[in-house]
Chains A and B, each alone.
Chain A
Amino acid sequence: MTEKMAHYWDVYKKFVSTSISVETSFRTSFILLIFMDFFFFFSSIGSVSFIYDHVVNIGPWQKDQLLFFLTFMLAIDNLHMMIFSQSFWEFSFHIKTGQLDYVILKPMNTIFSVFFRHFRASSLFNTPLFMGYLIYYGIQVNLSFLDWTLLPFLIVLSLALLVVIEFILSTSMFWLTDGMGINFLRMQMQQLGRWPNFIYQGFIRKVLTVVLPILLVGSGPVHFLFDKSAWQLLVTMIAALFILVLVLLVTWRIGIRRYDSASS
């Protein structure tokens, strides 16, 4: 098992190094990507700040609490952009053109070789900005020592839940001629989760918490950090992650069988 993990780690390092080589050979695109993330970050923070210039609370949260939530989600977004984002777009393109043949023929887990293949180094440049703001708002909401200790694990947990949901959504590309639209659906899901769960009401909130638990990605950990009695959300999140991994393994296997190479 350890040997297998070490092998996958070696392969992943190669994925990262080749991605960096490719990305840095297109320098203008590389720099533009850094600016794109930068603008996205400040437009998100700016919008919430401007609203709070005129209201005291949104739901039960004051400005610093919501901005902590937002920076938490943006930090996840930054990691998502860096580690996974490009692979989703490549995946739809590979299915459409038949290039997926070469990916699934490799002697590796296909989920790994499809979704961990592309690393976006440009996002790494904005990581200090994203994490810096997260720490700043963490200080503003008076996180305790325990909270700071838990924070990195909660970020990893949230990222894991987000990408597993997205992996499952992406398997639907096997059934579509052009899966590009699914990537847009993924982005809309991210947008829904970028706001705290209390802004949604009734049936929609239940669906987005239980059936497609996108609201748990940010709201689960942040509610827990603010109020330890909200531990049920965190437990639900962990349970959802396990269940969704099982769903992914089943749907992925069916999807791979369904795959009909466009090039053959």
Chain B
Amino acid sequence: MFKDLTLANIEKWWITIQISWVKHTAYRLNFFLQIIGPALVFFFVKYNLWASIYAGDSELIIRGFNFEQMINYHIWAFVVALVAQGHGSWNLAEDIRLGRISSYLIYPFNFWEFHTASWLSFQVIQMVIATFTLGIISYFGLLIFPSLNYFLIGVAYTLFISLFWFTLQYLTGVMAFWLEETWILRVMLNIIAYFLSGAIIPLDLYPKWLVDILNYTPFPYLTYYPIKIFMGEMTNLSLGLAIISFWTIVFAIINHLVWKKGIKLYTAAGM
């Protein structure tokens, strides 16, 4: 009985992943402009900025980075942003706000299961795009690949961060029980995370006192440390894993509690 139930549930997950894949890729231009475009433009601006700063001087080293290393840092930042921080849980808040979660209350498939399956599907797409992008960049000789060992650890670590990011985005989504507009929380979170995680510039360029404080927060482990792994430096891996695991569990618990409290307030729009 239990086995049958599990198999039936796996099938639901699998079908949801397939449906989400179709949904994500239905409007390809939109998907490109919303998900890939921002990361691509962000990288393009940073490439030009650093090219302007180094001005062709191959001898110039800024906080341990020559031009090639700086560009590599930003290529890996692009990949990490794509895989770990691409998902925005946009539909989640909309489902609550427009009263669509009524379906989940009736169907034998939970709200969180549906959105987690959707996120898994999104991650597969992002991985395909990241692989394709890395292939192109490598073809043009812009990327220094680490050893296979570092690369695989980097990929695994980045996927783990994406789980953390998802739990955090999920929290902003379920806040729709109380807030009219959850995108503000999401954007605010992105701005803070990008700035404090080393996605804009390497944390090596930040004042030491600030980096010392940041090391106690999850931020550096979202971008800076995974990039360092991809660049062949295994620093603070176990500490990073411990901190990210801790916060993922904390946010998962908070999400559960928020959902339980929020669902009591829920009145389906249009019912």
Q: Contact: A53 with B207, CB < 8 Å?
A: yes
User: Which A residues are CB-close (under 8 A) to B27?
Assistant: 177-178, 181
CB distance from A203 to the nearest CB of B (A): 12
User: B53 within 8 Å of A by Cβ?
Assistant: yes
The closest CB in chain A to the CB of B49 belongs to A199
Given A195-B45, A200-B48, A50 contacting B207 (CB threshold 8 A): yes
User: Which B residues are CB-close (under 8 A) to A182?
Assistant: 33
CB distance from A92 to the nearest CB of B (A): 10
CB distance from A223 to the nearest CB of B (A): 15
CA distance A40 to B191 in the complex (A): 6
Given A28-B179, A184-B37, A35 contacting B195 (CB threshold 8 A): no
Query: How does the 8 Å CB contact mask read for A64-90 relative to B, with 1 for contact and 0 for none?
Result: 000000000000000000000000000
The closest CB in chain A to the CB of B200 belongs to A47
The closest CB in chain B to the CB of A22 belongs to B180
How many chain B residues sit at the interface, stated as a range, is 35 or more
Instruction: Pick from A110-118, A185-193, A242-250 the stretch touching chain B.
Output: A185-193
User: Which A residues are CB-close (under 8 A) to B180?
Assistant: 26, 29
User: Which B residues are CB-close (under 8 A) to A58?
Assistant: 49, 52-53
Number of A-B contacts (CB under 8 A): 96
Q: Contact: B194 with A43, CB < 8 Å?
A: yes
User: B127 within 8 Å of A by Cβ?
Assistant: no
User: B38 within 8 Å of A by Cβ?
Assistant: yes
Q: Contact: B38 with A188, CB < 8 Å?
A: yes
Q: Contact: A54 with B32, CB < 8 Å?
A: no
Given A184-B37, A195-B49, A53 contacting B178 (CB threshold 8 A): no
Given A54-B63, A195-B48, A181 contacting B29 (CB threshold 8 A): yes
Instruction: Pick from B131-139, B182-190, B232-240 the stretch touching chain A.
Output: B182-190
User: A210 within 8 Å of B by Cβ?
Assistant: no
Residue in A54, A185, A187 whose CB lies within 8 Å of B62: A54
**Contact residues of A: prevailing secondary structure:** helix
Looking at A59, A178, A199, which has the most chain B CB atoms within 10 Å of its CB?
A199
Q: Contact: A198 with B178, CB < 8 Å?
A: no
User: Which A residues are CB-close (under 8 A) to B201?
Assistant: 47, 50-51
Q: Contact: A46 with B195, CB < 8 Å?
A: yes
Residue in B44, B181, B191 whose CB lies within 8 Å of A39: B191
User: B41 within 8 Å of A by Cβ?
Assistant: yes
Q: Contact: A36 with B184, CB < 8 Å?
A: yes
The closest CB in chain A to the CB of B188 belongs to A36
Interface residues of A, Cβ cutoff 8 Å to B: 26, 28-29, 32-33, 35-36, 39-40, 43, 46-47, 50-51, 53-55, 58-59, 176-178, 180-182, 184-185, 187-188, 191-192, 195, 198-201, 204
Q: Which 9 residue pairs across A and B have the least CB separation, nearest first?
A: A181-B33, A181-B30, A43-B195, A188-B41, A199-B52, A26-B180, A32-B184, A36-B188, A29-B181
